[in-house]
Amino acid sequence: MNHMKVMYYLKDTKKEKQILKLCSQLGIHTRKIKEKDVNVSLSTLAGISGAVSMNQVEKTPKGYEMPELLIFVGMTEEKLDEFLTEYKKQGIEPISLKAMVTPHNISWSVYQLVAELIKERASIFMGKQ
């Protein structure tokens, strides 16, 4: 059974506690992403079976440091809006990299998702100049 889930990678324990509390209040499951999970597919981390995994998993470069990250799994738009509204209301420090697991990215590794999010942010930023 697919539950709504927030998968996260954080170094800040205060922020982690705040997010865990928020998810608990909203009835959302959580999963902490560890450094060693960087080359694991989103489907595996989310516990979604039946997803096709890609043959070519891009390996992380040596010395790669994972940035803070929130990944939403199985959440409706309404629940996501509720989460983000409460997140702001509770004054939790912003996390710039956020994504939903979609049919398009479900077979990606955490590293591939982060790389894509960084590219998207850069192109949005460049477009605003």
In this prediction, residue 126 carries a pLDDT of 82
In this prediction, residue 54 carries a pLDDT of 56
- Range scoring the smallest mean pLDDT among 1-15, 29-43, 84-98: 1-15
Give which of 97, 122, 102, 109 is closest to 42, Cα–Cα.
Answer: 109
Domain count, the chain: 1
**Of 60 and 1, which is predicted with more confidence?**
60
Kind of pairing, strands 29-32 and 5-9? Answer: parallel
Q: What is the pLDDT of residues 14-49, one digit of tens each?
A: 999 999 999 999 999 999 999 999 999 999 999 987
Mean pLDDT of the region 93-102: 95
In this prediction, residue 57 carries a pLDDT of 58
CA 124 to CA 8: how far, in whole Å? 23
Side by side, the strands of the sheet bearing 98-100 are 29-32, 5-9, 69-73, 98-100
pLDDT band for 129, please (50, 70, 90 cuts). low
Mean pLDDT of the region 92-107: 94
Where does residue 65 fall: left (phi above 0), alpha (psi -120 to 50 degrees), or beta otherwise? beta
Q: Which residue range forms the structural domain that includes residue 56?
A: 5-127
Mean pLDDT of the region 63-72: 93
